[in-house]
Structure 1
Amino acid sequence: MPFLLDADHPKGDRLTDSQNCLRSQDFEEVGDNRHITFFEMLGNWSLGSYFTDEKIPALWDFLTRVVGLDPERIYVSVFGGDPDKGIPRDEESADIRARLFSAAGISADRVDLGTEEHGNEVRNQRARITFYGGKD
């Protein structure tokens, strides 16, 4: 926690991590196109050296140019906010991603699924950018 509060980290201010994850809270929903039980989660940490406006384009470049993913097959989710806690939607991330999709000649349709829980149902209407609340 001290490193997130501006204390110097011994390995620098740009860090990555990898952790194996076991998802156990919704075993009954496993098997659809949004729920898996065991996966690897990759983390990318900036301790004040770069922010969203640099991070998202760098990730896009890595995924499309280095890894070679087809941009037509990329869909993103964005935090839809939490009105009870006074946290707004993440419009900045959605706007940056929309510009990247548009630059690749891809429609950047958005859909807001609000803050209610949607469970097993896929309701993003194939939009490229989907806002989900904290429960989803």
Structure 2
Amino acid sequence: MVKYQNPELDRIFSALADPTRRALLAQLGDHEAVSVSELARPFAMSLPAVMKHLDVLSDAGLVTRSKTGRTVTCQLNAAPMEEAMNWLTRYQIFWTRQLDRLQALLEEDACQPSRNPSPPGLSLVPASGPASPSDAGSTPRRPRSTPRGRTPKG
């Protein structure tokens, strides 16, 4: 049976959806442990706003926090991202197969001879003569709307 509901995966993707949280994760990926004030420094937002982003990342299991005295440090926990990567890999495999099939179809079509019976450079439309077997002329089309201005009362 296919499992459509996965709250852990939902929290991971929700946390990764925000560019500020992705930037925080990138900072954490560059260092072993970073204080919250260091994490907040590059952002044009208050420290409480950064803390809320860290709460979301922590709830998703992507960040662990520890407190030493008054300093709170954060560390990246990349293990939950493995579940997200597994989910994405399934769809990458699907789309890779679809694109491979499309490429094979296009290559097969390119190798087959042209279905156009006329030699290259010749048009299928005759150079002279009527476009239809009828020699009758076309009647002009009526305008789709009335002309500008006042309409005559009839």
Q: TM-score if structure 2 supplies the norm length?
A: 0.22
Report the structure number with the largest CA radius of gyration.
2
Structure having the higher strand fraction is 1
